[in-house]
Amino acid sequence: MLALFRDVGRDLFTRGLVSSHSGNMSIRLGDRLLITRRGCMLGCLTEHDLVETGVIKNDRSTPLASTELAIHRAIYRETAALAIIHAHPPHAIALSLTESEILPRDVEGSRLQTQVPVIGVKRGTRLRELTGEISQALNRYRVMAVQGHGSFAVGQVLDEAYHFTTALEESCRIICLLRALEPSSAQKLSATG
């Protein structure tokens, strides 16, 4: 189990989808889940960075689990997901600040999901207060974004959630590149005038 978490965590870090101490991952094991430890470094996980706890019940390991444990639990209760990745992909975060949904324009991204919902955050809202909205979105979609914060992706295995995370960031990077290539309105007017 550690090898899988370590490989995905290292890839998330080297791709710039999480910073040194951000993001979290989990897998469901029946009525238990294995989740990354609070404040761990996904880029270089050790066996001490994985915490097993209940999907519903707390136990002595619960305080060590990621701060997003409540969100992971809600997603497992509300969806058929068996794996979750929460990342901070920079292009997806940038678009989440201006869009209410992200519409992939590349073939790969749109093949995976035609739209990515963005859940808005009101000033002073904590991520935990969005638990219900996040789990409801992931009941319909494989990946979603939280405005200004990051993405949550689900799958039947960790690699599948990783695939949706990377596809989202790639689609968002393409959207940002396309916007940078589009001439501004002022340039369009001066060229026609």
Q: Given this model, what pLDDT does residue 185 score?
A: 43
With CA atoms as reference, report the closest residue to 48 among 67, 58, 61, 32.
61
The pair of structure tokens assigned to 131 is 């638990």
Give the residue ranges of DSSP H helices in the chain: 2-14, 69-78, 90-96, 107-112, 131-140, 158-181, 185-192
Q: What is the pTM of this model?
A: 0.92
User: What are the pLDDT digits (tens) for 20-63?
Assistant: 999 999 999 999 999 999 999 999 999 999 999 999 999 999 99
Taking the C-alpha atoms of residue 25 and residue 156, their distance in angstroms, rounded to an integer, is: 13
pLDDT at 184 over 80: no
The pair of structure tokens assigned to 83 is 């794996």
pLDDT at 142 over 80: yes
Domains of the chain: 2-192 (3.40.225.10)
Q: Given this model, what pLDDT does residue 186 score?
A: 43
